[in-house]
Amino acid sequence: MRLTITAIGRVRSGAERDLVDDYLSRATAAGRAIGLGPVGESEIDNRSLADRTAESKALADAIPAGAKCVFLDERGKDLSARDFAAKIGGWRDEGVRETVFLIGGADGLDHSVLPQPDLVIAYGKTVWPHKLVRVMLAEQLYRSVSILAGMPYHRD
């Protein structure tokens, strides 16, 4: 099952970009043997998008037909690493071909123009900068793959 982070804006070169690339690369390599991957990223240029609604429409247009859709939103569920991995593993086992993780712009997501999500997750009640959210999601995807593959990366 393909896993894709689809986000408004770019993460330019630097520490955050290096971390995202590293975790996505690790997740892809580790996931091959267990039917997960590639794990990738799609960035939507927001310079010509007027507002949150336009950004969310652009995100909606980027969702492949039949894909599971996960929103990152401060009002979402705070899942443990094992619960997140179990959700991804369950979708893989059901035969889902792709899961897309949506990260909105600075004003978040306009749910009224997006499809009904299969899951809405949050990283606590705190609002995080978008660059860091992308790093944290990339790491959690790698962690989920490592949990499902029985690798020692995650420790309880």
What are the pLDDT digits (tens) for 88-133? 999 999 999 999 999 999 889 999 999 999 999 999 888 888 899 9
Fold topology of 2-149: Alpha/beta knot (3.40.1280)
Peptide bond into 38 cis (omega under 30): yes
Binding site feature residues for S-adenosyl-L-methionine? 72, 104
Q: Known binding site: residues?
A: 72, 104
pLDDT given for residue 155 in this prediction: 79
Question: What count of Cα atoms within 13 Å lies in the side-chain half-sphere of residue 150?
Answer: 2
Query: Tokens in use for 48?
Result: 């010509």
pLDDT at 124: 85
Residues 149, 96: Cα–Cα separation, whole Å: 18
Q: Where are the domains of the chain?
A: 2-149
Q: Which H or E element spans position 41? A: strand 39-44
Residue 43: how many CA atoms within 13 Å on its side-chain side?
13
User: Could you give the CA distance from residue 85 to residue 143 in angstroms, rounded to a whole number?
Assistant: 8
**Segment 41-99, tens digit of pLDDT:** 999 998 889 899 999 999 999 999 999 999 999 889 999 999 999 999 999 999 999 99
The Cα 38–Cα 48 span in angstroms is: 29
